[in-house]
Structure 1
Amino acid sequence: MNSVKQPLHLFEGFGVELEYMIVQRDSLQVLPITDKLIYEEVGEYLSDVEFGDIAWSNELVLHVIELKTQEPAKSILGLQGKFQEHVQKINGMLEKHNAMLLPTGAHPLMNPERDTKLWPHEHNAVYEAYDRIFGCQGHGWSNLQSTHLNLPFANDAEFAKLHAAIRVLLPIIPAISASSPILDGKVSGLLDTRLEVYRHNQDKIPAIAGKIVPEAVFSKKEYEEQILQKIYKDISPYDPDEILQEEFLNSRGAIARFVRDAIEIRVIDIQESPVADIAVLQAIVTVLQALVAERWVPMEVLKTWDENEMAAILLEVIQKGQEAIITNHEYVRLFGYDCSGSCSAGELWQHLVQELLVLDDEPEVAHALNIIVSRGNLSSRILEAIGKNPSEEKIREIYRQLAVCLQEGGVFIPDEPC
């Protein structure tokens, strides 16, 4: 008798995806050789290459490679070592190309008009359709490396709880995850520039990304009727062959993947090394667990929050990160924090980390999270190191240091070695 795979319940499994750029070691020029890298490893141009717990896969563009958990992991903690092994393996393979992996959510010097080359092999029909409809020669398509977190649900009731919790937490996630303060060789003025270009890359069809914070829908039927069917209807004049009319077309900051009974969180910039990513993810998961368990407010209260109210908070956090002031006291109280005056996103995260996070068995993760909360997100630390009007050479110098952090598995602190 064939065994049927039992669905995973809330927080019984974790899917993690990390995206990195391939660049020249010296100039940091992007190198479109992901297909070559995969071919050199397995002798075929495949979209996915499995190595036990971790797999490699391609993305839309040829200069990005994704590392991901092959199956949902039982715990996020401990994954940093597995991802770090593959970072070092890939960097070793890239040496003969005078290339390396580069972290952070956006390449600071990339010219997407000149440098973008789409994946030409397996599944490229999807990428060609995106390019035909939206034009993928822009930062919003070819220069936005993220960390995705997939969280399972076993039924509609669990989906409702998880979606309610994720929607509420989403606006403040970039406060700890922003890592993209520079674009086109200039300080952008935003802490999370990747998320800003992401939210505009499909403006042609506004239903696709919505307000980034998803609508208040709490069942599969509602989600399909109010979100997915509207997206499919709006894109149909541009997509007569229905190539893109799948769940992946939805570009909200968290998307329901009913094909695998999970919600995928997409607002997280990639960090400087896997240990920093795991620190961010563990913080997110721990807060979500508390929200689902109704630690501070009943679930029915979480469900009442309107996406437009929360989108306004998100936009402030995209711009200012941990310095963003949250004036909505009712929102802050959802997390058990009662600040008498205005409260910053950073103060809220300090409260959450102090109240919830116990990482005694993972000192490296604890150290990374402490740096993020006390010294600022990676964007803030990059800006501290780089100055207000950096030269291209200064930008290269700091981003080479970030590449060293990635190779070494360290945390970036200005004026200190990884």
Structure 2
Amino acid sequence: MSDITQSITSLHLFEAFGVEIEYMIADRSTLDVCPIADKLIEAECGSIQDEITLGDLAWSNELALHVIELKTALPAPSLTGLSQVFQDHVGRINGHLKGQNATLLPSAMHPWMNPATEMQLWPHGYSEVYEAFDRIFDCTGHGWANLQSVHLNLPFCGDEEFGRLHAAVRLVLPLLPGLAASSPLMDGRPSGMLDTRLDVYRSNARRVPLVSGHVIPEQAFTEADYRRLIFEPMFQQIAPLDPDGILQDEFLNARGAIARFDRGSIEIRVIDVQECPAADLAILQATVAVLKALTEERWSRLAEQQAVEVEPLFRILRDAIRVGHDAVIDNAAYLSLFGFRKSSASVGELWRHLIDCTSPETDAATATALDVILDEGPLAARILKRLHGNTSHEETANVYRDLANCLTGGRPFSSDVN
């Protein structure tokens, strides 16, 4: 449901970007979740508001009262330099939270939060929508109460650009956990997956399965086809549970990338939050570089990209959710769409190939963060390596306290304590 605050309807492919980053608010002493997003906004502007704009960024709440979202207030013409803008706002927020004995905590899931007892919905504006979600789906589960992501909004203008961009986005979605997985723990222990957030996310609307589908969007490459294949069946399925039509809008769509025709953009939603904005932006820069190459048909023709069905993409995504960069892709036809001429490769190997081929436009901070991801694996793998199998509450808290320090200091998290 999160939005950038201004429509980007008139912009063409890659002319601008909308970025949204969600963080948990945690008690500074215990690191337990701290549901005070409204108090944080009040501390900044003097009153409780759903969203406030502060220069280049806006702050808002996303459903759960312990979550604060930072997002570009206007479409940004470049991703370069944005990490420092977000970092500055992290410092500003932590300055307010210090007086509440609280701090921002990164990563895509809190490692020991109990949603059944600790979830509090945002009780202020927009609460009618949140209450409708809670009534239909029960937001006290991990898939609603305990997940933080990065959203990348990309513009398109008209059906031709939409079809080109949507085809490229569908192909890249399964690969993103290989860079971005940051949620290996749930209920105080390893879940067995590197991207637990995506695993719980894909089933959080199971009462109305067409809300999220298979996370990978269907083969829809015009607005008319998208409405016919995705919106109309989804609205029909939820209608008996939503007689007032509160949720029957584009924001109901919970696929891993959603089309927002009201503002002319596609929003990518499968990226876990990282340890600092430089790492988040590094992943976005790499993603954009690959999407540009695909839309320009550098490695494969548009018709070939659009011909790929949901199921083979979902299989790759499912494996990447589980083991991230180590997931093996044995689909030679899929690999060839990226100019990779081998019969199989790991997700990590494919990302190295893609980054070598596209040379993403990074700055010093994001280049360093991307090197750490490529060399040591996604954040989830680094967290598990740091834990060394010791997932006691004390050791888990020590590791996540270092993650909080990484966010405060704007530095990458290494699996090597030295």
TM-score surpassing 0.5? yes
Q: Which amino acid aligns with 1:145?
A: Q
The answer (yes or no) to whether the contact 1:187–1:388 under 8 Å persists in 2 is no
Aligned to 1:73: 76
The answer (yes or no) to whether the contact 2:108–2:183 under 8 Å persists in 1 is yes
Q: Which amino acid aligns with 2:67?
A: V
Aligned to 1:139: 142
User: Are positions 1:345 and 2:352 aligned together?
Assistant: no
Task: Give 3-state SS (helix, strand or coil) of 2:84's partner.
Answer: helix
Aligned to 1:398: 399
Between the aligned partners of 1:416 and 1:316, the Cα distance in structure 2 is 29
The answer (yes or no) to whether the contact 2:386–2:417 under 8 Å persists in 1 is no
Consecutive unaligned residues in structure 2, runs of 5 or more: 1-6
Between the aligned partners of 1:172 and 1:10, the Cα distance in structure 2 is 21
Q: Which amino acid aligns with 2:80?
A: L
Between the aligned partners of 1:358 and 1:328, the Cα distance in structure 2 is 25
Between the aligned partners of 2:54 and 2:45, the Cα distance in structure 1 is 11
Q: After TM superposition, give the deviation of residue 204 of structure 1 in Å.
A: 0.8
Between the aligned partners of 1:133 and 1:237, the Cα distance in structure 2 is 10
Using a 3 Å threshold, how does the CA distance of structure 1 residues 291 and 25 change in structure 2: closer, same or farther?
same
Q: After TM superposition, give the deviation of residue 353 of structure 1 in Å.
A: 1.0
Task: Give 3-state SS (helix, strand or coil) of 1:65's partner.
Answer: strand
Aligned to 1:226: 229
Deviations 1:258-284 (A, max 9, x none): 111000000000000000000000000
Q: Which amino acid aligns with 1:363?
A: A
From 353, 356, 363, the equivalent of 1:354 is 356
Deviations 1:135-173 (A, max 9, x none): 000110011100000000011110000000000111111
Task: Give 3-state SS (helix, strand or coil) of 2:339's partner.
Answer: coil
Aligned to 2:100: 97
Aligned to 1:381: 382
Q: Which amino acid aligns with 2:354?
A: L
The answer (yes or no) to whether the contact 1:175–1:317 under 8 Å persists in 2 is yes
Between the aligned partners of 2:412 and 2:341, the Cα distance in structure 1 is 31
Q: After TM superposition, give the deviation of residue 6 of structure 1 in Å.
A: 7.2
Q: After TM superposition, give the deviation of residue 358 of structure 1 in Å.
A: 4.7
From 249, 253, 272, the equivalent of 1:250 is 253
Q: After TM superposition, give the deviation of residue 105 of structure 1 in Å.
A: 0.5
The answer (yes or no) to whether the contact 1:186–1:389 under 8 Å persists in 2 is no
Between the aligned partners of 1:175 and 1:316, the Cα distance in structure 2 is 10
Aligned to 2:177: 174
Aligned to 1:32: 35
TM, length-normalised to structure 2? 0.97
Aligned to 1:370: 371
Aligned to 1:200: 203
Q: After TM superposition, give the deviation of residue 339 of structure 1 in Å.
A: 2.0
Deviations 1:90-115 (A, max 9, x none): 00100011100000000001011110
Aligned to 1:46: 49
Between the aligned partners of 2:384 and 2:315, the Cα distance in structure 1 is 24
Q: After TM superposition, give the deviation of residue 43 of structure 1 in Å.
A: 2.0
Between the aligned partners of 2:157 and 2:402, the Cα distance in structure 1 is 43
Between the aligned partners of 1:209 and 1:145, the Cα distance in structure 2 is 17
Aligned to 1:8: 11
Q: After TM superposition, give the deviation of residue 44 of structure 1 in Å.
A: 2.0
From 166, 169, 184, the equivalent of 2:187 is 184
Between the aligned partners of 1:146 and 1:198, the Cα distance in structure 2 is 11
Task: Give 3-state SS (helix, strand or coil) of 2:395's partner.
Answer: helix
Between the aligned partners of 2:8 and 2:43, the Cα distance in structure 1 is 34
The answer (yes or no) to whether the contact 2:299–2:338 under 8 Å persists in 1 is yes
TM, length-normalised to structure 1? 0.97
Using a 3 Å threshold, how does the CA distance of structure 1 residues 371 and 132 change in structure 2: closer, same or farther?
same
Q: Which amino acid aligns with 2:400?
A: Y
Aligned to 2:309: 306
Between the aligned partners of 2:185 and 2:388, the Cα distance in structure 1 is 11
CA RMSD of aligned residues (A): 1.2
Q: After TM superposition, give the deviation of residue 77 of structure 1 in Å.
A: 1.2
Between the aligned partners of 1:408 and 1:210, the Cα distance in structure 2 is 38
Q: After TM superposition, give the deviation of residue 414 of structure 1 in Å.
A: 2.3
Using a 3 Å threshold, how does the CA distance of structure 1 residues 296 and 124 change in structure 2: closer, same or farther?
same
Q: Which amino acid aligns with 2:257?
A: A
Using a 3 Å threshold, how does the CA distance of structure 1 residues 119 and 5 change in structure 2: closer, same or farther?
closer
Q: After TM superposition, give the deviation of residue 357 of structure 1 in Å.
A: 1.6
Identity of aligned residues (%): 51
Spell out structure 1 runs of 4+ moving beyond 4 A. none
Between the aligned partners of 1:358 and 1:277, the Cα distance in structure 2 is 14
Deviations 1:336-369 (A, max 9, x none): 11125x310000001111121255x612111111
Q: After TM superposition, give the deviation of residue 389 of structure 1 in Å.
A: 4.1
Q: Which amino acid aligns with 2:367?
A: A
User: Are positions 1:267 and 2:270 aligned together?
Assistant: yes
Aligned to 1:333: 336
Between the aligned partners of 2:302 and 2:80, the Cα distance in structure 1 is 27
Consecutive unaligned residues in structure 1, runs of 5 or more: none
Between the aligned partners of 1:6 and 1:67, the Cα distance in structure 2 is 21
The answer (yes or no) to whether the contact 2:285–2:360 under 8 Å persists in 1 is no
Q: Which amino acid aligns with 2:306?
A: K
Q: Which amino acid aligns with 1:310?
A: L
Task: Give 3-state SS (helix, strand or coil) of 1:45's partner.
Answer: coil
